[in-house]
């Protein structure tokens, strides 16, 4: 367990907090590109690291991400008119460009120069891999563009969703690197889910005796979870945790790779991004339609929102009869919503001072320690880990090897990104 003070240190991500300052040194997934589909389209609300922002694409197609509220009387610019290369407040007509600079105050003469004195906080953005990324740190420390494998793949090879999760980011992230829970929480669903069933991996994860071997990497942690396979063999699941909040999930043969980003909206809510991608082929219509309906590690959403259809207000549509009949282990439908329901049940911010951790929690212990060390080192002027492009060039993997074979060598080789080449999975 960790102390209450250490828990606060890890979970608070607002402006001026150690963890918040660390997170602001990375490119942050802010919006899906499809949320701003054309010039002059409606603006969207964006909440990142306890800051309320508004995003818009102007007449020239440039993207702005700035303080949500007009500098005049505090009106939300989500109601604004996106027109003529700027966002105009509907209350009194003050207008802002994509940098947050006020360019028009209709009630004041242009000769007064008043509007030049008004500028909203704004953040630079880039568009890559179907995502609009924001950088919220010092401009002099801006890192290279994101270099995850899926960012560079054709659009046809990638499917991205995001869902609102009503917890601190850390609960989601820790669930993403906790490979041992798969044997219980997802047990029966792996046999039925169309993106997992009929694979050796789904069969081997029924084994509940999990042993971990964890390697530090430049970008975070390579997490190996070992289960017994056929006599004389071990089944290994390789999860990647990458700074500051990314998890790459071990794949199943014949299916695509998957990853998550657990992005803090504020201290009690996060946006859980899910990226499904295949390096050698387009995703099929059947795969995409299934994921839209909650297959794989995606969630079905309330139309027009990012809130899951199954949520705390309807008890996640839990089906006790299906649970009793061993159709699903916990009664909640879908792998993503099983994770969300369990993590939200811990409370908005889990009290980790009451935990009793065991050996299968070693990856979680190490990730917490690396996050705290990175935040402390940043305060001493050190560069954050994992911002270099090569640190993000890793894959998750799964494989079966003889008990006598070296795990480390196989894992390091299997986790290399070889663009256009298949990944390692069973």
Q: Helix (H, G, I), strand (E, B), or coil: what is residue 23?
A: helix
Looking at the structure, tell me whether residues 341 and 256 fall in a common domain: yes
What are 334's two structure tokens? 């879908």
Looking at the structure, tell me whether residues 184 and 252 fall in a common domain: yes
Give kind and range of the element (H or E) at residue 236: strand 233-242
Looking at the structure, tell me whether residues 261 and 285 fall in a common domain: yes
Question: What would the 3-class secondary structure string for 95-112 be?
Answer: EECCCCEEEECCCCCHHH
For residue 192, the model assigns a pLDDT of 79
Where does the pLDDT of residue 244 fall: very low under 50, low under 70, confident under 90, or very high at 90 and above?
very high
Q: According to the per-residue pLDDT averaged within each range, which of 180-184, 209-213, 391-395 is highest? A: 391-395
Residue 200 has pLDDT above 80, yes or no: no
Looking at the structure, tell me whether residues 184 and 246 fall in a common domain: yes
Q: Where are the beta strands (DSSP E) in 42-100?
A: 44-48, 51-57, 63-67, 81-83, 86-88, 95-96
What are 171's two structure tokens? 């609960």
For residue 150, the model assigns a pLDDT of 98
Looking at the structure, tell me whether residues 166 and 315 fall in a common domain: yes
What are 59's two structure tokens? 């007449």
Model confidence pLDDT, tens digit, residues 100-156: 999 999 999 989 999 999 999 999 999 999 999 999 999 999 999 999 999 999 999
Residue 293 lies in a domain: yes
Count of alpha carbons within 13 Å of 229, Cβ hemisphere only?
19
Specify the CATH number for the domain of residue 304.
3.90.380.10
Backbone angles phi, psi at 414, to 5 degrees: -65, -25
pTM of the model: 0.96
Section 338-366 average pLDDT = 96
Residue 189 lies in a domain: yes
Domain boundary among 76, 110, 141: 141
How far out from the chain centre does Cα 390 lie?
Answer: 19
Domain count, the chain: 2
362-379 vs 4-11: helix axis angle to the nearest 10? 70
For residue 198, the model assigns a pLDDT of 65
Residue 374 lies in a domain: yes
Domain boundary among 105, 120, 141: 141
For residue 202, the model assigns a pLDDT of 72
362-379 vs 169-176: helix axis angle to the nearest 10? 130
Residue 194 has pLDDT above 90, yes or no: no
- Look at the block and give the residue holding tokens 């590690």: 297
Where does the pLDDT of residue 259 fall: very low under 50, low under 70, confident under 90, or very high at 90 and above?
very high
Domain boundary among 77, 107, 141: 141
For residue 120, the model assigns a pLDDT of 98
Whole-angstrom distance, CA of residue 189 vs CA of residue 327: 7
For residue 382, the model assigns a pLDDT of 97
Residue 134 lies in a domain: yes
Got the DSSP string for 19-45?
HHHHHTTSEEEEEEGGGS-STTPPPEE
Where does the pLDDT of residue 188 fall: very low under 50, low under 70, confident under 90, or very high at 90 and above?
confident
What are 288's two structure tokens? 């995409």
Looking at the structure, tell me whether residues 120 and 160 fall in a common domain: no
Domain containing residue 329: 149-414
Q: Using a pLDDT cut of 90, give the percent of the chain over it.
A: 92
């Amino acid at each position: 367990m960790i102390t209450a003070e250490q828990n606060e240190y890890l979970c608070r991500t607002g402006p001026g907090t150690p963890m918040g300052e660390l997170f602001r040194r990375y490119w942050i997934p802010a919006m899906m590109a499809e949320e701003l589909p054309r010039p002059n389209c409606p603006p969207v609300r964006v909440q990142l690291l306890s800051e309320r922002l508004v995003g818009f694409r102007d007449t020239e197609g440039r993207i702005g991400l700035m303080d949500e509220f007009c500098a005049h009387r505090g009106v939300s610019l989500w109601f604004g008119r996106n027109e003529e290369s700027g966002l105009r407040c509907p209350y009194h007509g003050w207008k802002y460009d994509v940098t947050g600079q006020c360019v028009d105050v209709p009630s004041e003469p242009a000769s007064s120069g008043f509007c030049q004195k008004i500028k909203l906080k704004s953040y630079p953005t880039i568009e890559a891999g179907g995502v609009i990324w924001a950088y919220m740190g010092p401009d002099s420390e801006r890192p290279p563009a994101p270099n995850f494998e899926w960012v560079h793949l054709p659009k046809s090879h990638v499917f991205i969703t995001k869902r609102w999760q009503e917890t601190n980011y850390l609960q989601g992230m820790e669930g993403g690197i906790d490979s041992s829970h798969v044997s219980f929480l997802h047990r029966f669903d792996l046999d039925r889910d169309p993106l997992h069933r009929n694979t050796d991996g789904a069969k081997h994860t029924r084994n509940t005796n999990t042993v971990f071997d964890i390697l530090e990497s430049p970008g975070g942690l390579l997490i190996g979870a070992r289960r017994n396979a056929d006599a004389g063999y071990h089944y290994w699941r390789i999860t990647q945790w990458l700074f500051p909040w990314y998890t790459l999930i071990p794949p199943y043969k014949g299916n695509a790779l998957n990853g998550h980003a657990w992005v803090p909206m504020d201290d009690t809510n996060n946006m859980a991004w899910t990226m499904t991608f295949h390096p050698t082929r387009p995703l099929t219509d059947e795969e995409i339609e299934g994921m839209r309906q909650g297959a794989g590690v995606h969630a079905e959403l309330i139309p027009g929102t990012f809130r899951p259809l199954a949520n705390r207000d309807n008890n996640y549509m839990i089906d006790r009869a299906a649970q009793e009949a061993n159709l699903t282990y916990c009664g909640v439908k879908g792998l993503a919503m099983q994770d969300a329901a369990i993590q939200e049940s811990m409370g908005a911010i889990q009290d980790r001072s009451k935990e009793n951790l065991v050996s299968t929690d070693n990856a979680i212990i190490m990730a917490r320690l690396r996050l705290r060390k990175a935040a402390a080192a940043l305060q001493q002027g050190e560069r954050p880990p994992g911002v270099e492009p090569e640190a993000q060039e890793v894959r998750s993997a799964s494989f079966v090897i003889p008990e006598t074979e070296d795990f480390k060598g196989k894992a390091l080789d299997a986790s290399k990104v070889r663009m256009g080449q298949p990944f390692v999975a069973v």
